Amino acid sequence: MTQMIRIPAEDGHTLDAATAGDPKAARGGIVVLQEIFGLNAHIRDLPRRFAEAGYYAVAPALFDRAETGVELSYHAAGKERGIALKTAVDADSLFDVSAAIGVAATAGPVCVVGFCWGGSLAWRAATSLTGLAGAVSYYGGELPSKAGLVAHCPVLAHFGEQDKTISMECVDTFIKAQADADPAVITHIYDADHGFNCDARAQYDATAAETAWERTLAFLDRVSR
């Protein structure tokens, strides 16, 4: 069962977070990083799925700095509002990611798993925060433009070949920049669109989502040992 808690960031801000799992019995901690649509039903359900896989998961409400209780729908108006909120909080978002890492660390080694904007934050966390065992990015739009950053932990990146917001040329740029990375950066490309993991979106692709999920769990199991 997913529960809501309050967690403090180091700059004094306090935010909501959805959690699931038993940190005392878990094999490690997972920080789930949201899309631009807020801590909605889809994101709140992901901690439960990770808990069922044996982890203690924490999903911070990254829009709380601008507005609390944000849950946006996957349509044009929701996207527009989400982009505005993301722009408002993005500069301070890693404070909140770091706070969630601290909570998840009560279960052991911590990995971040992010989707869309959260996928970009997962990469930024891997390159700028300490204390991570690994990072997973689902269709993070900033990875190509920030490909020159150096990750401090293993990274797994998922992209959709049909994603019009992240071209395959940009993905290739990221792959080439990480070819000799150590720790390793592994990239998978799917015959799917942006948002393919989310069953609440029209772009949902069950086959790609299942394959990416299996690869994610295998990666988390390996780096969390």
Cite the active site residues: 116, 163, 194
The CA distance from 43 to 17, in Å, is 11
The CA distance from 105 to 103, in Å, is 5
**Pairing outcome for strands 29-33 and 134-138:** unpaired
Closest listed residue to residue 9, CA positions, set 91, 103, 88, 87: 103
The CA distance from 74 to 153, in Å, is 32
Closest listed residue to residue 192, CA positions, set 155, 219, 165: 165
CB 37 within 8 A of CB 73: yes
CB 5 within 8 A of CB 16: yes
CB 189 within 8 A of CB 63: no
